[in-house]
């Protein structure tokens, strides 16, 4: 029991729960699709998934990563892509299921960053951002070796850095956020509007590797958006590393080459000369490892 914590990773597409030890290893894991419906239906799925991995041995603490925005002061969440969960008291609900142990909450982007810093591609970095490029774009900051959530826990939410001021409306209420340019669905939408016949990001990658000009351009545009957002964040936070993961990042150099090109053009300050961009290592476990790291990292 002493070495195990319960980790939760909750998003608009998937709910995951895991038991994680003090080295960041996932000992047991369960997942389910996030249901579409009222708040209690979603909570029931979270509770059920938690109890699949819990056993009589117990845990010493619980770490929760959830799609945001989150409010770590009140323990509530209001994910943009889960509209029935507005100001949902997630921390208290989880604490009620696992009484007598500490419970910590953070945004999912923060947890992905912390997971990679603890046990993945960010090991040894002092000032880094972890980024997920998937159905959305998220991020979290580790500054001077410590997770930095800011006033409410949402610092580092890179997906809502503006990279096209006159761009498309975003679900956050703004326009031209990197999420409107670089997320998988928006890359697909952009390509389809220009005549590409496919339906999803996996097909888009295949087409780009086969030399389809529209698909290649979609990845160039998406990668440039991520690179611009990294450049802006790095200039503000004096970063030395950006770790990029998520489903779209599995396309490798199709995304990373335009990211690095954008950085070569827009991250010209002398103190950013050592900034590196690397691919995440923990894949789908990053959020769970980072959620555990909120309470277990040594």
pLDDT in tens, 46-85: 999 999 999 766 899 999 999 889 999 999 999 988 999 9
**Local confidence band at 12 (pLDDT 50, 70, 90 cut-offs):** confident
- Residue 14 placed within a domain: yes
What pLDDT is recorded for position 118?
94
Same domain, yes or no, for 178 and 192? yes
Is 297's pLDDT higher than 70? Answer: no
Total count of domains within the chain: 2
Tokens of 84: 């029935």
- Residue 234 placed within a domain: yes
- Residue 112 placed within a domain: no
Same domain, yes or no, for 261 and 291? no
Q: How far apart are CA 60 and CA 45, in angstroms?
A: 22
Same domain, yes or no, for 103 and 125? no
pTM of the model: 0.90
- Residue 226: give its domain's CATH number: 3.30.420.40
Same domain, yes or no, for 147 and 240? yes
**Local confidence band at 159 (pLDDT 50, 70, 90 cut-offs):** very high
Q: How far apart are CA 37 and CA 272, in angstroms?
A: 45
- Residue 138 placed within a domain: yes
Residues 6+ apart with CB under 8 A from 211: none
- Residue 101 placed within a domain: yes
* CA-wise closest residue to 229 among 131, 168, 161: 161
- Residue 115 placed within a domain: no
Per-residue pLDDT, averaged over 166-191, amounts to: 96
The domain of 82 spans: 5-107+285-296
Same domain, yes or no, for 258 and 135? yes
Same domain, yes or no, for 135 and 38? no
């Amino acid at each position: 029991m002493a070495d195990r914590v319960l980790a939760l990773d909750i998003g608009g597409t998937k709910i995951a729960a895991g038991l994680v030890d003090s080295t960041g290893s996932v000992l047991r894991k369960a997942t389910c699709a996030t249901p579409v419906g009222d708040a209690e239906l979603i909570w029931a799925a979270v509770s059920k998934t938690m109890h699949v991995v819990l056993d009589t041995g117990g845990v010493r603490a619980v770490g929760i990563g959830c799609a945001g925005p989150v409010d770590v002061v009140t323990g509530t969440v209001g994910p943009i892509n889960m509209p029935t969960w507005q100001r949902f008291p997630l921390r208290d609900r989880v604490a009620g299921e696992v009484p007598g142990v500490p419970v910590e909450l953070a945004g999912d982007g923060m947890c992905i960053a912390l997971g990679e810093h603890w046990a993945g591609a960010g090991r040894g970095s002092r000032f880094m951002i972890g980024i997920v490029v998937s159905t959305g774009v998220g991020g979290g900051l580790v500054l001077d070796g410590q997770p930095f959530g800011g006033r409410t826990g949402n610092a580092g939410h890179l997906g809502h850095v503006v990279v096209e001021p006159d761009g498309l409306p975003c679900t956050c209420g703004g326009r031209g956020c990197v999420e409107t340019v670089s997320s998988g669905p928006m890359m697909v939408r952009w390509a389809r509007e220009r005549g590409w016949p496919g339906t999803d990001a996996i097909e888009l990658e295949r087409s780009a590797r086969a030399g389809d000009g529209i698909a290649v351009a979609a990845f160039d545009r998406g990668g440039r958006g991520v690179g611009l957002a990294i450049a802006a964040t790095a200039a503000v936070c004096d970063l030395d590393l950006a770790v990029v993961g998520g489903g779209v990042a599995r396309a490798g150099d199709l995304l990373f080459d335009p990211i690095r090109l954008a950085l070569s053009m827009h991250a010209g300050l002398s103190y950013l000369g050592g900034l590196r961009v690397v691919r995440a290592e923990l894949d789908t476990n990053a959020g769970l490892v980072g959620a555990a790291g909120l309470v277990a990292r040594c």
